[in-house]
Structure 1
Amino acid sequence: MNDTPLLIPCPHCGAMNRVPATRLGQSPSCGRCHRALFDGRPLALTAADFDRHAVRSGLPLLVDFWAPWCGPCRTMAPEFEAAAAELEPRLRLAKVDTEAEPGLGARFAIRSIPTLVLLHEGRELARQSGALPRSRIVAWAQAQLPR
């Protein structure tokens, strides 16, 4: 891995931080609020902060599009959270509630939930529909990442 700085949005205050790629695994913290940039849990994104993490960030973003009434979504939620602890800091995991954020669901043409969408710099790399266990989420995401 090279030492090229990546732009990483703070999950707490939204500030953009430049972090050398080689330092991602060293628990970097935000330059503004001083909290950890990675805490091993998925972010809850809204339309207001989605592009900061999906387009402006140098990290790939794995998004779980879900809804509170969806049984398979609720079943997969703890599996997705466990996957975040395993996949960070190589990529960021986030959740989008399609009931609260229908515009984001429409933007990504979400037709069934749960649906995982892997993005990098605003471009969709891959998608997978249906509930998955942690091990399959991790394996699928790692297989889709650019080498």
Structure 2
Amino acid sequence: MGHEIDFVNVSTAGLETSPHAEALAGLRANEARYFKNKYDHVFATVPAAETSEVVAWVERILAEERGLVIASPPLEVSVADVDGIDWIHVFYESGLGLNVLYTRADGGKRAVGFKLPDGMDAPEELNSFKWARQKSKLAGTIRGSYFVIKGEHPRS
């Protein structure tokens, strides 16, 4: 199951090497609160090194769909199966949070979302994206962007 993320007592555990550890921890806690409130799902993370096959799957989607390579190393990963949807979250040392929503059924929603916490500039590789802002009690102002996944990328 990994390390359960507490959205009441926000912790930087697992994110300490990020220059944006506090803001990234708030972003991660914001995701945990969303999943608890929307799906009654416990949001947990594991070190990215322990889920290299999941990180490789995310990297493959980014490369094949948009020619993207995230320059920053991944720190933590959350893998969830909620209502027939694979939800993968990757939290990067740069402060970037990325999620992949991949409905396994044909015709379902599939997208990649990017979130940036307060104080973080968009990584150079994501400069072509337009960013919307949202307020979060846990993460301050979050900037987000996304793209729809058009190809087939089943997880093995």
Instruction: Give TM-score scaled by structure 2 length.
Output: 0.34
Instruction: Give TM-score scaled by structure 1 length.
Output: 0.35
More helix as a share of residues: 1
